[in-house]
Amino acid sequence: MTNPPQRILVVGDDDICTAPFVAALLRTRLAGRDDVRVASAGLDGVVGQPACDHAIEAASAGADLRDHRSEPVTAERIRKADLVLTIDGEERSLVNRMAPGFQTKVFALREASTIAQAGDRWGRLDAVAAVAERLHRDRGLPKPKRIPVPRRGVLLRPVVELGLDDLPEAHHLDGAAHGWALEQARAAAAGIAAVLVALRAGAASAA
């Protein structure tokens, strides 16, 4: 009997910029692993919207977002996911309110990345759900460092007020700040991707 796919869901506000960008990066890092599916969704998303040009360009080095179309997040999608990553802490809270009782697998991306980079022996885990359990066990131990806000260009007020777990929603920013925000997301995605790649190796060696 074939096991159901393991699911990672990346949730942003509108599913046209940071969330699909992060999901595309994770899919690229997990290329070749057919049992893990990575998708994105938006809390305020409208069905069928394409990714923004900035996200398409930023992802072009290793992922293609030209065919992306936005989808809304639902309680069912949250329940079915093995790991849910949000762009900021407020979205994490909204996801938890949408699907109560599943908060042990819901993390802000920077939160998950910080925990992942502080841990060890991740390669011994054999499932995405086990990664979520480990992240939850260590939740709150390492604290993310505050993102340094550049003192140049067009930076809107929400960036200045970022919480420790927050990434800026790139689509809310103008000019160079948009690309800067996507690079912050890329760095955070790399932290959790390293754990998922190690999981892949661990699962293969245990087979």
Q: What is the pLDDT of residues 76-120, one digit of tens each?
A: 999 999 999 999 999 999 999 999 999 999 999 999 999 988 866
Which positions ≥6 away from 175 have C-beta within 8 Å? 153, 154
Q: What is the pLDDT of residue 120?
A: 64
User: What is the C-alpha separation between 43 and 57, in angstroms, rounded?
Assistant: 23
Looking at the domain assignment, is residue 85 inside a domain? yes
User: What is the C-alpha separation between 132 and 67, in angstroms, rounded?
Assistant: 29
Looking at the domain assignment, is residue 1 inside a domain? no
CATH of the domain at 175: 3.40.50.2300
Predicted confidence band of residue 180 (pLDDT cuts 50, 70, 90): confident
Looking at the domain assignment, is residue 33 inside a domain? yes
**Whether pLDDT at 68 is above 90:** yes
Tokens found for residue 173: 């920013």
* Opening angle at CA 127, ends 192 and 91, nearest 5: 45
Looking at the domain assignment, is residue 199 inside a domain? yes
**8 A C-beta contact, residue 132 and residue 105:** yes
Q: What is the pLDDT of residue 47?
A: 92
* Opening angle at CA 48, ends 51 and 158, nearest 5: 50
- Taking the complete model, does pTM exceed 0.75, yes or no? yes
Residues of the domain holding 92: 6-206
